[in-house]
Amino acid sequence: MKVAWVVATLVAQCTAVTISEINGNRYLSTYQGKNVSGVEGLVTAKGSAGFYLRSTSPDHHHKASKSIYVYGKSAVAQVSVGDIVTLSGEVAEYRSSSAYVYLTEITSPTGIEVASSDNKVTPLVIGHGRLIPPTNQFSSLDGGNVLGVPNNASQISHRNPILAPSKYGMDFWESLSGELVTLPGLHALTKPNQYGDTWVLGDWPATGQNQRGGLTMRSGDSNPEAIIIGSPLDGSKNPTDTKVGDIIADITGIVTQAYGYYALLPLSALTVTESNTTDASPTQLVSDGSCSALSVGSYNVENLTPNSTHLSKIADHIANYLKSPNVVFLQEIQDNTGASGDGVVASNVTLTTLTRAIKNQGGPSYSFIDIPPIDGQDGGEPGGNIRVAYLYDASVVQLRNAHPGNSTDAATVLPGAELNYNPVLLDPTNTAWDSSRKPLAAAWETLDGQNRFFTVNVHFSSKGGGSSIQGDARPPVNGGIGQREAQARVVADFTAAVLAEDEDAKVIVSGDFNEFAFVKPLKVFVAESGLQDLDEVAGIAKTERYTYIYDANCQQLDHMFVSEALAAEAQMEHVHVNTWVSYDDAASDHDPTVAVFNVCA
Ligand SMILES: *[C@@H]1O[C@H](CO)[C@@H](O)[C@H](O)[C@H]1NC(C)=O
Ligand SMILES: *[C@@H]1O[C@H](CO)[C@@H](O)[C@H](O)[C@H]1NC(C)=O
Ligand SMILES: *[C@@H]1O[C@H](CO)[C@@H](O)[C@H](O)[C@H]1NC(C)=O
Ligand SMILES: *[C@@H]1O[C@H](CO)[C@@H](O)[C@H](O)[C@H]1NC(C)=O
Ligand SMILES: *[C@@H]1O[C@H](CO)[C@@H](O)[C@H](O)[C@H]1NC(C)=O
Ligand SMILES: *[C@@H]1O[C@H](CO)[C@@H](O)[C@H](O)[C@H]1NC(C)=O
């Protein structure tokens, strides 16, 4: 009886708990919503609305973070970095969106008592001892593939998995939540996002590194070893002109979870100590004007209008970096009045302005062709009516029996692999293209009519509506994946029909697929189209396959796929005119691609 009475009293009084016990070895604290007291720790850093406390109690929970955020504006002034304090408070799980992972914290701290001051504060060092981030997997809930389907099969907040910090990147950073760490030997993996946050890699093991110093997303490797640097705790601002590969001075700061990512909040702003000034080189893949070396370029020119400030840079890229390909596949050409919802759908002024600028930059006098969309039906910036379009050098190639279809005419492959219209949209009324750009097919020939080839210019649905790669949904939601799969099937049906009429047909499908080669929509496309991934065919190193940067990763949204008849002598290059430069210097969010083919009959 007496023993039971003692235990009951201790529980009622809320015995002292350690920070490790509060955090536990899972994502969510078993103390959530409970009051705790006698929590002892060393103040390692302060922010404007709280401070960070590291346990001073010995414990055996090596998977649980030994540090925690104490949230409470008025408490900040009561402590100094280096104080050992005890306090009481309520354990809470906080997130600003239901799509994010929770941060465990102590709120409403009371009874703060400073036991001693000026204690030494030593950051842990990432890359030392056990503190090596995993390089491939994000979460035990991803079924081995962070890009796998079905998306959002489970949620961290629901399953609350046991942390395995040596296996899963999110678990690694979660096991350091609230901890003061130093990141040594850093370089930038990206330019900053709109908030000035930059992803970095330090002196620890990494996979997927490219020659520029970025990390390239590859099959089975989406790089959880990277971490994003958030807003400095002292209120200073990170630079906004950081570039991929920039060397950054060592950073000390706090590991936290915010806005859907594990982030490091530096004590003060990051500093770039060395920057790579080497520009992207102009391509060596140049047309010789004959059927044996015909060049093709592809470029998402990001909402191009006649008065876009980036138009002259785009023209420079096409003329001087892509060396004026004979045919250029463009995506995101807006109508003549840009993003004003005035019913205008024609883009001849946009395309004339661009082709004149290319000529002024030393390029040829390009001709152009597109099929204007029905107003407001194809998604993208409201009023802009983005569409795909071709530029072509009419001194080298021509449309075969030019006879353009309209915005609702669908391509049919006739006997002898002739098209009913040229150019023509692929099944434009299929629901696969709802609120999305319709693919534009064309049949081309050299001026003597002897050498034919087909092209399809695509711009699949975006990843909009997706969830963070480090978010609550596992695997994360890859926005639009189902629609892109349906789109891939429509385009594949067309190329398969061309190849059924002529197995030696020369076919190029290129553009912005908004998807990676190793994710379901493009796996379906390769399986059903009869085409091959040109990066594979041309032997581009897997780490150099990128045209875009998102989160920590250099990644490839833009692809070319070709038929067997074009594969043998094909060469290709991704020209990094935009991913390498600072945000302000970029002309588009995508890099262009150029390729050379033998199209001789
Ligand atoms: C925690 O403590 C606060 C302040 O003393 C009190 O208002 C609250 O009711 C307590 N909560 C629980 C769950 O005991
Ligand atoms: C994931 O599914 C859960 C449960 O159905 C839902 O509450 C949540 O909103 C979904 N998350 C996302 C990002 O779609
Ligand atoms: C600069 O970039 C070039 C091209 O990617 C690369 O080859 C070189 O190694 C980089 N230099 C440094 C110092 O990182
Ligand atoms: C470009 O023109 C559109 C409408 O024609 C206008 O809304 C926009 O402000 C202009 N942009 C610039 C940069 O002049
Ligand atoms: C654009 O097309 C309209 C209608 O066909 C024509 O009047 C106008 O001159 C064209 N503008 C340019 C720059 O080609
Ligand atoms: C496109 O042309 C077809 C005839 O080929 C016609 O029936 C249809 O109404 C036209 N669509 C539009 C949007 O002009």
What is the separation of C-alpha 289 from the centre of its chain, rounded to a whole number of angstroms? 37
C-alpha separations of 498 from 329, 440, 445, 447, 456 in Å: 20, 15, 15, 22, 12
Rounded to 10 deg, the angle between the 520-529 and 481-501 helix axes is 10
Residue 285, in any domain of the structure: no
Q: What is the overall mean pLDDT for the chain?
A: 96
Ligand 6 center–CA 406 separation, angstroms:
6
- Same-domain check for residues 214 and 95: no
Both 496 and 515 in one domain: the answer is: yes
CB atoms within 10 A of CB 38: 16
**Cα 426-429-434 angle, rounded to 5 deg:** 100
Same domain, residue pair 93 and 153: no
- Asked whether the predicted pLDDT for residue 5 surpasses 80, the reply is no
The verdict on the CB of residue 352 being under 6 Å from ligand 5 is: yes
> pLDDT value at position 14?
55
Q: Which of 60-74, 227-241, 447-461, 543-557 has the lowest mean pLDDT?
A: 60-74
Ligand lying closest to the C-alpha of residue 306: 4
Q: Confidence band (pLDDT; 50, 70, 90) for 9?
A: very low
- 320 CA to centre of ligand 4 in angstroms: 27
127 vs 130: CA distance, rounded Å? 8
Among 6-15, 151-160, 321-330, 489-498, the range scoring the smallest mean pLDDT is 6-15
Rounded Cα–Cα distance for residues 129 and 408 (Å):
63
What's the pLDDT tens digit per position in 16-50?
Answer: 899 999 999 999 999 999 999 999 999 999 999 99
CATH number (domain holding residue 216) = 2.40.50
Q: How far is the CA of 245 from the centre of ligand 3 (A)?
A: 8
Residue 12 has pLDDT above 50, yes or no: no
Quickly state the pLDDT bin for 15 (edges 50, 70, 90).
low
Sign of the C-alpha dihedral computed for residues 269, 271, 277 and 280 taken in this order? negative
pLDDT at 2 over 70: no
User: Between the CA of residue 205 and those of 135, 215, 321, 432, 449, what are the distances in Å?
Assistant: 7, 12, 34, 42, 55
Distance 345 CA to ligand 2 centre (A): 37
> Which pLDDT score is estimated for 8?
41
286 within a domain of the structure (yes/no): no
277 lines ligand 3 (CB under 6 A): no
Q: Which of 378, 406, 420 to mutate to test the pocket of ligand 6 (most atoms within 8 A of CB)?
A: 406
More confident residue, 16 or 534: 534
Q: Which of 151, 152, 156, 159 to mutate to test the pocket of ligand 2 (most atoms within 8 A of CB)?
A: 152
Is the CB of 90 within 6 Å of ligand 1? yes
Per-residue pLDDT of 287-344, as tens digits, reads 999 999 999 999 999 999 999 999 999 999 999 999 999 999 999 999 999 999 999 9
pLDDT, tens digit, 9 for 90 and up, residues 344-365: 999 999 999 999 999 999 999 9
CA of 35 to the centre of ligand 1 (A): 6
Angle among Cα 461, 228, 64 to the nearest 5 degrees reads 115
Nearest to 264 by CA among 169, 173, 153, 133: 173
Q: What is the mean pLDDT of residues 96-110?
A: 98
Cis peptide before 423 (omega within 30 of 0): yes
Confidence of residue 111 (pLDDT cuts 50, 70, 90): very high
Domain boundary residue, one of 83, 116, 149 = 116
**pLDDT at residue 390 is higher than 90:** yes
pTM of the predicted model over 0.85: yes
CATH of the domain at 484: 3.60.10.10
% pLDDT > 90, the chain: 95
CA distance 262 to 247: 21
- Tens-place pLDDT, residues 433-468: 999 999 999 999 999 999 999 999 999 999 999 999
For residues 419-432, average pLDDT: 98
Residue 282 lies in a domain: no
> Does residue 240 lie within any of the structural domains?
yes
d(CA 388, CA 378) in angstroms, rounded, equals: 11
Side chain identity at residue 1, one-letter code: M
Q: Are the C-beta atoms of residues 330 and 389 closer than 8 Å to each other? A: yes
The answer to whether position 340 is within a domain reads: yes
| Chosen domain end from 218, 247, 277 | 277
The string of DSSP codes covering 40-82 is EEEEEEE-SSEEEEEE-S----TTS-SEEEEE-GGGGGG--TT
- Report pLDDT digits (tens) over 166-215: 999 999 999 999 999 999 999 999 999 878 899 999 999 999 999 999 99
- The answer to whether the Cα torsion of 371, 376, 378, 382 is positive or negative is positive
Residue 6 pLDDT? 42
Question: Considering only CA atoms, which of 11, 163, 147, 89 is closest in space to residue 523?
Answer: 147
Contact 405, 423 (CB under 8 A): yes
Asked if 346 and 333 count as a contact pair (C-beta separation under 8 A), the reply is no
Q: Is residue 388 within 8 Å of 317, Cβ to Cβ?
A: no
Q: State the CATH number of the domain containing residue 64.
A: 2.40.50.200
Residue 162 has pLDDT above 60, yes or no: yes
E-state strands within 437-524: 440-446, 452-459, 473-474, 507-512
Nearest-CA residue for atom 1 of ligand 2: 152
Greater pLDDT, 16 or 489: 489
CB 276 less than 6 A from any atom of ligand 3? yes
Residues 133 and 111 in one domain: no
Residue nearest to atom 3 of ligand 5 (CA): 348
Of all residues in the chain, the percent with pLDDT exceeding 70 is 97
Same domain, 272 and 295: no
Residues 232 and 167 in one domain: yes
- pLDDT given for residue 525 in this prediction: 98
Q: Is the CB of 214 under 6 A from ligand 3?
A: no
Q: Is the CB of 344 under 6 A from ligand 5?
A: no
Give yes or no: residues 80 and 211 share one domain.
no
| pLDDT for 384 | 98
Beta bridge partners of 367: 392
Per-residue burial over 102-141, b if 16 or more Cβ lie within 10 Å, else e, is bbbbbeebeebeeeeeeeeeebbbbbeeebebbbbbbbbb
Is residue 284 situated within a structural domain?
no
Q: Kindly tell me if the per-residue pLDDT of 92 is higher than 80.
A: yes
Whether residue 307 is found in the same domain as residue 215: no
| Shared-domain flag, residues 270 and 314 | no
Ligand nearest to the CA of 334: 4
**Structural domains counted in the chain:** 3
Which residue has a Cα nearest atom 8 of ligand 6? Answer: 408
How far apart CA 360 and CA 345 sit, in angstroms, is 26
**What distance in angstroms lies between residue 352's CA and the mean position of ligand 5's atoms?**
9
Q: What is the pLDDT of residue 328?
A: 99
32-46, 57-71, 116-130, 190-204: least confidently modelled range? 57-71
**Do residues 414 and 467 both lie within one domain?**
yes
421, 461, 481, 567 from 465: Cα distances, Å: 35, 11, 10, 36
Residue 20 CA to residue 279 CA, distance in Å, equals 49
| Ligand 6 nearest atom to the CA of residue 409, by list position | 1
4 band by pLDDT with thresholds 50, 70 and 90: very low
Q: Provide the sign of the torsion angle of the four alpha carbons 169, 171, 177, 179, taken in this order.
A: negative
Residue 504 burial (10 A CB sphere; 0-12, 13-18, 19+):
exposed
Q: Identify which of 266, 257, 228 has the alpha carbon closest to the alpha carbon of residue 95.
A: 257
Determine the residue type at 547: T
Pocket test for ligand 1, best of 14, 32, 90 (most atoms within 8 A of CB): 90
CB atoms within 10 A of CB 14: 13
Q: Are residues 273 and 381 in the same domain?
A: no
Our answer on whether the CB atom of 141 is closer than 6 Å to any ligand 2 atom is no
- The residue from 78, 97, 116 where one domain ends is 116
Residue 440 lies in domain: 291-597
Please tell me whether residues 139 and 226 are part of one structural domain: yes
